[in-house]
Amino acid sequence: METSTSPTLLSRARANRLASTFTLLTTLTVGVLAGSVLTRDVGAKEQKVDTSDARPLVIPDPKTLSNGFSTIVKQVGPAVVNINTETIAKKAAVTSKTRRMPRGANPNGDQGDMQDFFNKFFGGQGGDGEDDPDALGGERQALGSGFIVDPRGYIITNNHVVDKADKIFVKLAGDPDDGQRLQGRPATVIGVDPETDIAVIKIDTKTPLPTIKLGNSDSAEVGDWVLAIGSPFGLSQTVSAGIVSAKNRSIDDRDPQSGLLKQFQKFIQTDAAINPGNSGGPLVDLAGNVVGMNTAIYTQSMGSQGVGFAMPSNILAKVYNDLIGATHKVIRGSIGIQFQASTASAVSRVYGFANGGVIVGQVTPNGGAAKAGIKPQDILVSINGHQIKDGDDLVNDISARAVGSSVEIGYLRDGVKKTANVTIGDRAKVYAEVAGTDAEPDTPASVDAGQSKLGITVRAVPAAIASKLGITGAVSVDSVTPGSFADEIGLGKGTLIVEINRQPVTDEASYRAAIARIKNGDDVVFVVRDPRNTKGGNSFVGGTLR
């Protein structure tokens, strides 16, 4: 009985399931068809809408869209060039990598807390644009920009774009671009000036080339619109816009041999985007005149962060005229001294030159100042009767004078005014004589005298080290208490103290005696030396003790 009825129930269940499925599919099909009908009905209604009142879109006349920027680019763009260089790695350099130190780094390789750095850019798309040569002596390529200032083919660019290059190629704005990086016209170097990072190169031409005019950079004002034109990352004829952000900016760029700051690099700062490859390109004003040459950026990423620097056109013009002259070099005057670029107000008060002047840190042996009897810590106050305002004023005056000429220098020594006739020497030769070497002081016992007042402990400097530095004696800072007076004024560990408030410090006893004279409210000035540089000269650090 059970066996005969079971298949019947199973058949009914299957039949009911098929019926349900068919009903569901039928319902979905009807829904889809209904949707299609409704959609087709809606589309038909849209097509019947009257659009006779709709106005067609009109593309305006291109001249209506033009602005001052595009007019300037059309005017000056043809004179902006792309520069490619090729350097064949020398076998002597195969065993080690050679890279230019990032701006802001310590000459001994220690960047300390410096995260941002200045970096001159060679224009490659990786790092600083320099490709390391391979072990067999490969090629190193660099990329930059420049601009034509003479229709006979004379071009201004950065020295670091062409420095040490074996081959230089220039691609004009109108030259075809077939993708070859080194495609272009061969160029020769006319002259370079490392002090300002300016170079003049030339290409041969049978027909006059388009040129760009130099403006007067003194007329550029903070807030003025400017355009940067060049070849960032090899992308030629790239234009970026910004404003003049600041003027007369100095950056920590040092001579690689002497370690001295390059005093002739005073830049126009701009927020116009400048990237690797823009180096040597023009910064132009709204009159289409060059007010600067793009030279450096302040960056953490090797790209533009809105802080770029351009060499002012007034400096460009002077250096260019010297480089195309008979000697093809810039000759600057020097009296053979070194001084600290900036000092605390306490220093000027203690040494008596609050109204202007320059305190001598070091006198170069056999230089004009040394022969005239000027000594370290003399305060130079006048040149031929004209007051010296600051270090820049002194350098600008002396550097412009002819080598071999003489000037009357007025100076103060222990508060007494004196004069000396000083012969102007060749600045390049003076720089060649100023080079330092590292020194490792021994480690005698630390002295804690003055720790409670100043926040430092010191140790005596061995006689051998003092002799090598050319001093009679000193103490070396062994430790600095964070937040102390010494910490606040920047008196760092390892610094050699040779004088405190005009009192010589030659040993522990003289150091203690000088500290004993100091009380709260006093101006305290330290004369210090860098132990790593045997010819670095004196620096002055000071502040008011509270």
pLDDT at 73: 92
CATH 2.40.10.120 residue spans of the chain: 66-330
**In this predicted structure, what is the pLDDT of residue 123?**
36
pLDDT tens-digit series, residues 329-372: 899 999 999 888 777 888 888 888 888 899 998 898 888 999 99
- The reported pLDDT for the residue numbered 21 is 53
User: Percent of the chain at pLDDT above 90?
Assistant: 35
> pLDDT tens digits, residue range 169-208?
999 988 876 554 456 899 999 999 988 999 999 999 999 9
Task: For residues 64 and 53, give the distance between their C-alpha atoms in angstroms, rounded to a whole number.
Answer: 27
Q: Is the pLDDT of residue 292 over 90?
A: yes
C-alpha 297/C-alpha 118 separation (Å) is 6
Is the confidence at residue 16, as pLDDT, over 90?
no
pLDDT digits 0-9 by tens, 393-434: 899 899 989 999 999 999 999 889 999 999 999 988 877 666
- Is the model's pLDDT at 281 over the cut of 60? yes
Contact 188, 201 (CB under 8 A): yes
Secondary structure letter of residue 17 according to DSSP: H
Question: What pLDDT sits at residue 444?
Answer: 47
Residue 159: pLDDT band (50, 70, 90) is very high
Options 279, 313, 348, 539, the catalytic residue: 279
pLDDT value of residue 138? 52
Token pair of 389, please? 């305002």
Q: 41 or 395: which carries more pLDDT confidence? A: 395
Q: Which of 197, 253, 322, 523 is catalytic?
A: 197
In the chain, list all ranges with CATH 2.30.42.10: 333-433, 446-544
Q: Is 160 a catalytic residue?
A: yes
pLDDT tens digits for 471-522?
A: 888 888 888 888 888 888 888 888 899 899 989 998 888 888 888 888 888 8
What's the pLDDT at 257? 52
pLDDT band at 87 (very low <50, low <70, confident <90, very high): confident
CB atoms under 10 Å from CB of 376, counted, come to 17
Task: Specify the pLDDT at position 129.
Answer: 39
Is 539 known to be catalytic?
A: no
What stretch of H or E contains 80? Answer: strand 80-88
Place of tokens 């008596």: 352
Grouping H, G, I as helix, E, B as strand and the rest as coil, residue 159 is helix
| More confident of the two residues 374 and 450 | 374
What is the C-alpha to C-alpha distance for residues 300 and 119, in angstroms, rounded to an integer?
A: 10
pLDDT at residue 46, as a whole number: 53
Interior/surface letters 401-433, b for 16+ CB within 10 angstroms, e for the rest: bebeeebebbbbeeeeeeebebbbbebeebbee
Residues 122-144: tens digit of each pLDDT: 333 333 333 344 444 455 667 89
Q: What is the dihedral of CA 26, 27, 30, 32, to 10 degrees?
A: -110
Residue 158: pLDDT band (50, 70, 90) is very high
pLDDT at res. 112? 34
% of residues, the chain, pLDDT over 70: 71
**In degrees to the nearest 10, what's the CA dihedral of 482, 486, 487, 491?**
-130
- Going by pLDDT thresholds of 50, 70 and 90, the confidence category of residue 282 is very high
Fold topology of 446-544: Pdz3 Domain (2.30.42)
Between 43-47, 456-460, 509-513, the lowest mean confidence (pLDDT) is in 43-47
Residue whose structure tokens are 């590292």:
438
The one-letter code for the residue type at 324 is I
Please report, for the chain, how many H helices and E strands are present, in that order: 13, 28
pLDDT band of 448, cuts 50, 70, 90: low
pLDDT of residue 491: 87
pLDDT of residue 127: 36
Is the pLDDT at 120 greater than 60, yes or no? Answer: no
Q: Which listed residue (145, 160, 378, 476) is catalytic?
A: 160
pLDDT recorded at residue 133: 42
pLDDT bracket for residue 58 (50, 70, 90) = confident
- Please provide the average confidence, as pLDDT, over all residues in the chain: 78
Is 250 one of the annotated active-site residues of the chain? no
Q: Was domain 66-330 assigned CATH 3.30.1330.10? A: no
Q: What is the pLDDT of residues 206-237, one digit of tens each?
A: 999 999 999 999 999 999 999 999 988 888 88
Query: Which of the four CATH numbers 2.40.110.20, 3.90.25.10, 2.102.10.10, 2.30.42.10 does domain 333-433 have?
Result: 2.30.42.10
Residue 81, pLDDT > 50, answer yes
Identify the pLDDT of residue 63: 62
pTM score > 0.75 for this model? no
Output the pLDDT for position 298. Answer: 76
Whole-angstrom distance, CA of residue 138 vs CA of residue 90: 9
Report the C-alpha gap between 284 and 214 in whole angstroms: 9
| Of 54-63, 204-213, 297-306, highest mean pLDDT | 204-213
